[in-house]
């Protein structure tokens, strides 16, 4: 998964307030994605990779992916960034919450355990329903 935002500076996304705004503005997509990946891969986190964000054609493209606990992808990353994040991954409720890791431009990693409406299973179901509806031609 990745997402594209209207033109802006990558640096403007790299603050705690901007992280929260981004998570809220993309909640339905993030929650649906997280539930789908949790259902297939197990507990984990949605990673928002600001370090590899790119600007093209006036838009900002931000890579986003899921890392599951115990996965090869997690091993390749050297494990969770710290024990606190590891504990959050073990304890969050995937029916209500999504854990986000934001890879910041300065090399730091921020994490958020977020909840919003609709909860992840419902967001996933709504996403599937939208994709199944045939489009009408005019």
In the chain, which residue ranges form alpha helices assigned H by DSSP?
A: 16-25, 27-41, 72-76, 83-91, 120-132
The span from the CA of 132 to the CA of 83, in Å, is 41
Q: Contact at 8 Å (CB) between 5 and 96? A: no
Residue 138, pLDDT score: 46
| Domain ranges, ordered by start, for the chain | 2-128
Residue 55, strand partner residues: 60
The span from the CA of 47 to the CA of 81, in Å, is 12
Q: Contact at 8 Å (CB) between 51 and 105? A: yes
Phi/psi for 80 (5° steps) reads -65, 150
Q: What is the pLDDT of residues 50-66, one digit of tens each?
A: 999 888 777 788 899 99
Question: Which tokens in the block code for residue 32?
Answer: 């649906």
Query: 92: how many CB neighbours lie within 10 A of its CB?
Result: 19
Ordered per-residue pLDDT tens for the chain, 138 residues: 555 555 567 888 899 998 998 899 999 999 999 999 999 999 999 999 999 988 877 778 889 999 999 999 999 999 999 999 999 999 999 999 999 999 999 999 999 999 999 999 999 999 887 766 555 554
């Amino acid at each position: 998964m990745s997402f594209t935002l209207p033109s802006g500076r990558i640096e403007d996304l790299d603050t705690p307030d901007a992280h929260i705004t981004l998570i809220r503005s993309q909640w339905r997509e993030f929650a649906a994605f997280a539930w789908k990946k949790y259902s297939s891969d197990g507990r984990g986190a949605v990673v928002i990779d600001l370090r590899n964000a790119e600007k093209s054609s006036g838009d900002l493209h931000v890579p986003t992916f899921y890392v599951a606990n115990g996965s090869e992808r997690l091993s390749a990353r050297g494990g969770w960034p710290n024990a606190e994040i590891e504990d959050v991954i073990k304890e969050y409720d995937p029916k209500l919450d999504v854990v986000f890791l934001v890879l910041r431009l300065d090399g730091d990693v921020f994490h958020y355990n977020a909840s919003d409406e609709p909860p992840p299973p419902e967001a996933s179901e709504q996403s599937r329903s939208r994709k199944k509806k045939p489009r009408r031609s005019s």
